[in-house]
Amino acid sequence: MTSHDVTLEWPDGRTRTIAVREDETVLEAAERVGIALPFGCRTGACGTCTGRLLEAEGTEPGDGAGNSGGVDIEAAFAHRRPPRAFKDRHREDGYVLLCIASPRTSCRIAVGSSVHTELMENPWK
C-alpha cells in the first residue's frame, strides 16, 4: 500500500510528520499515531477539520498567509465524498477537509482550529 509523508504544522510552530496511506484520511492517520486534530462530523459537512495545503511534493511552497503557491489541491488529495463544507473558492485557495481527504503526494499542511476560522467567522462572539 502506498503512503505519503504528511507534515502537520500548528500555528505555535510545532510540526509532526506522519505516513498516511492512500486508503486512509489525514484525520484517521493522525488518530492512528495519537495526534489530536479538531474534527466534528467526519463527513465533510461541518468544516471543523479544515487544513490548508502549504506545499506539495514537486511544487513551489506557499507564503504561509493563504497563498498556496500554485499547489493544485485536486492533484494533492482525493476525497471520499464531495467536501460540502467548502465553496469552490475555498478549494482553489488550498483548503482541505482532513476527515475525508487522502493524500496523493507528500505535503505540508497547516492545521488547528485557527485554520477553520480563516474561512468562517464565529457567529457566537
Domain CATH number, residue 80: 3.10.20.30
Q: Which three cell numbers stand for residue 121?
A: 467567522
Question: Is the residue at 102 inside a domain?
Answer: yes
pLDDT at 19 over 70: yes
Question: Is the residue at 86 inside a domain?
Answer: yes
- Please name the amino acid found at residue 115: V
**Within 13 A of 1's CA, how many CA atoms are on the CB side?**
9
Count of the separate structural domains present in the chain: 1
Question: Is the residue at 65 inside a domain?
Answer: no
pLDDT digits (tens, 9 = 90+) for 27-67: 999 999 999 999 999 999 999 999 999 999 876 655 545 55
Which is more confidently placed, 118 or 25? 25
Strand ranges of the sheet holding 3-9, from the earlier edge strand across to the other edge:
15-21, 3-9, 107-110, 50-56, 95-97
Collapsing DSSP to helix, strand or coil, 74 comes out as helix
Answer for the pair 62, 55: CB distance below 8 angstroms, yes or no.
Answer: yes
Question: Is the residue at 61 inside a domain?
Answer: no
Question: Is the residue at 62 inside a domain?
Answer: no
Structural domain range at position 30: 3-56+70-121
Question: Is the residue at 64 inside a domain?
Answer: no
Q: Which three cell numbers stand for residue 78?
A: 482525493
